[in-house]
Amino acid sequence: MRDSRRQAPTVNAGSMADIAFLLLIFFLVTTTISADKGILRKLPAECLTPDCNIEVNDRNVLEIFINRNNELMVEGELIEVSDLKTLAIDFIDNDGANQCDYCNGKQLETSSDKPQDAIISLKHDSETSYGTFIDVQDEISKAYLKLRTAYAKSKFNKLPEGLTKDELIEVKKAYPFILSEVQLDRNQ
């Protein structure tokens, strides 16, 4: 007699794991993973001397603050982000000490002595938007680019892209990018 109960056919699933593994490897190899890029900034060199605190004349520091409402204050006055580039150029290129033969500044007593002493202090609130912070950084970078480009044209009769390595170093020494960044934490 025959058994009335039939057994259901079974499917051999042993190779399914191998196929899934091969598909996984295929997608990992063929997929491009985009890497996020940050702000390209060179960190300052490590201070190797015992006393790293340097006294800085107040006139050599341009204080910029971005509050939690994304409003920009320079030296305590509200300004538009679009005006920051001009203010930074006037501050850096001031030549208040009358020691810079390539500066075109107004020699104001309220601005920097020379470009090598000019420090831009950027402070921002912990709730400042990332976009506003980047816009301010861009305006500061544009100010330095304009000053360095003008110096390269007058000194070497070249644009910065055409400078040799030694010429580029000289341009950067003439207008060093000195930026101090501080985030104010309101939770303390």
For residue 53, being part of any structural domain is answered with no
Measure CA 28 to chain center: 32
* 25 domain-assigned: no
How much is the pTM? 0.73
Q: Which element (helix H / strand E) includes 77?
A: strand 77-79
Predicted local confidence at residue 3, as pLDDT = 58
Q: Is the dihedral of CA 24, 27, 29, 33 positive or negative?
A: negative
| Angle, CA of 176, 40 and 175, to the nearest 5° | 10
65 touches 81 (CB < 8 A): no
Question: Does a structural domain hold residue 29?
Answer: no
Of 78, 102, 76, 107, the closest CA to residue 91 belongs to: 107
CA–CA dist 139, 158 (Å, integer): 23
Domain that holds residue 84: 58-144+178-183
Q: How many structural domains is the chain composed of?
A: 1
In a domain, 107, yes or no: yes
Q: How far apart are CA 144 and CA 147, in angstroms?
A: 5
Whether 66 is in a domain gets the answer yes
| pLDDT tens string 84-130 | 999 999 999 988 888 888 888 888 888 888 999 999 999 998 888 98
The angle that helices 165-174 and 130-156 make with each other, rounded to 10 degrees, is 110
Is 137 within the bounds of a domain? yes
Q: What is the pLDDT of residue 142?
A: 94
Q: Enter the tokens of residue 23.
A: 């598909």
In a domain, 68, yes or no: yes
User: Is residue 164 one of the residues assigned to a domain?
Assistant: no
- Check residue 44 and give its pLDDT: 65
Nearest by Cα to 89 from 171, 147, 141: 147
Confidence (pLDDT) at 1: 53
Structure tokens at 110: 């309220």
Q: Rounded CA gap, 13 and 16, in Å?
A: 5
